[in-house]
Amino acid sequence: LSAPPGDGGVFNLPALIVVLLAMAFLLGGAKESARANTIMVCVKIAALILFCAIGFMGFRSGNYAHFMPFGMAGVSAAGATLFFSYIGFDAASTAGEEAKNAKRDLPRAIMLSLVIVTTLYVLVAAVAVGARPWRRFNDSEAALAQIMRDVTGQSFWATLLAFCAVIAIASVVLTVLYGQTRILFAMSRDGLVPKVFARVHPKTGAPRANTVIVSLFCGVLAAAVPLGQLADATSIGTLFAFALVNVAVVVLRRTRPDMPRTFRVPLTPVLPALGFAFCVWMMGSLSAVTWVVFGVWMAVGLVFYFGYGYRRSRLATAEDVAVAAEK
């Protein structure tokens, strides 16, 4: 009951429980879930700093021999696989309508969190590889906890890190579910998905039905599908979405120059062009199976769009009204 069928289990019950707990926080409203997420983020940052402090004591410079053994191909493949962990930054942008001063706060929040998280990622990777030869990370579960145990010779610190890792995963689930529900909320308001996703509770202001539907769907996936396959599928979807956003920034600057904007992307079109190129480059590093899953998922989305959302969108309705007025 702790692994999906593809990983030797029957049903990953802990994964489902984590998703349901995140759902419970989200049903309480944005303010309550943000408070819980802040606490969890502080715990996991403290755990990563603790790992770096202890892991550095086992640092061996020789472990860096043959640095980048697979060259840039290895870097792009690893970056593409890991890219799902950057999904929280687009989730921050979905909070625009619930931020007090989105024009000031959102750019600061996105850029500051990006700098902090990337710095922590690089620092943890540098200490981990320095404390353990990179070949020993292959097919290794809880590698950071094992490093803590090897360096200290005690299980306490490894157990503490593992406990904090569970909290860290819960905070990521909470953030991702929040972002997905708000995206569906906006799509529902535009008519692209059923109206049930735009209904909000009168007291909490949270889209309850939306949150329950998304959480149950994600919970079943987490419990039934191996993590590696889910991570790659999430990464390729995120990379594709980010590539489209980069294109949209340039297109909307030309087609809708007067549209109200909460904040603007600097150095356009240079930054969007670089963002698009890097996203496509990393997508090309993912496996053929991941591309097949992505293609099927895209086909399902397109069928739903042209079968439902295309005719019901606010844009389509506005165009119908304009045509009728002209007649």
In whole angstroms, give the CA distance from residue 142 to residue 168. 13
| Superfamily (CATH H level) for 5-225 | Amino acid/polyamine transporter I (1.20.1740.10)
pTM, two decimals, is: 0.78
- Rounded mean pLDDT of the chain? 86
Confidence label for 323 from pLDDT (cuts 50, 70 and 90): low
* Alpha helices (H) in the chain, listed in sequence order: 13-27, 30-55, 71-82, 88-93, 102-131, 143-152, 156-189, 208-224, 227-255, 270-283, 288-304, 310-312, 314-326
Query: Which single residue is written with the structure tokens 């402090």?
Result: 53
Q: Which of 301, 2, 39 is nearest to 167 (CA)?
A: 39
- Given a contact cutoff of 8 angstroms between Cβ atoms, the answer to whether 237 and 279 are in contact is no
267 token code pair: 């150095």
What is the mean pLDDT of the segment spanning 115-140?
88
In whole angstroms, give the CA distance from residue 218 to residue 216. 6
pLDDT over 70 at 97, yes or no = no
pLDDT of residue 85: 78
- Given a contact cutoff of 8 angstroms between Cβ atoms, the answer to whether 9 and 2 are in contact is yes
In whole angstroms, give the CA distance from residue 128 to residue 223. 29
pLDDT of residue 251: 94
Please state which of the ranges 138-152, 273-287, 313-327 shows the lowest mean pLDDT. Answer: 313-327
C-alpha 144 chain-centroid distance = 21
SS3 category, 265: coil
211-251: pLDDT as tens digits: 999 999 999 988 998 877 788 888 999 899 899 999 999 99
Confidence label for 95 from pLDDT (cuts 50, 70 and 90): low
The H-or-E segment that residue 233 falls in is helix 227-255
161-185: pLDDT as tens digits: 988 888 888 888 888 888 889 889 9
Confidence label for 321 from pLDDT (cuts 50, 70 and 90): low
Q: Where are the domains of the chain?
A: 5-225, 287-327
pLDDT of residue 112: 87
185-214: pLDDT as tens digits: 989 988 899 999 988 888 777 888 999 999
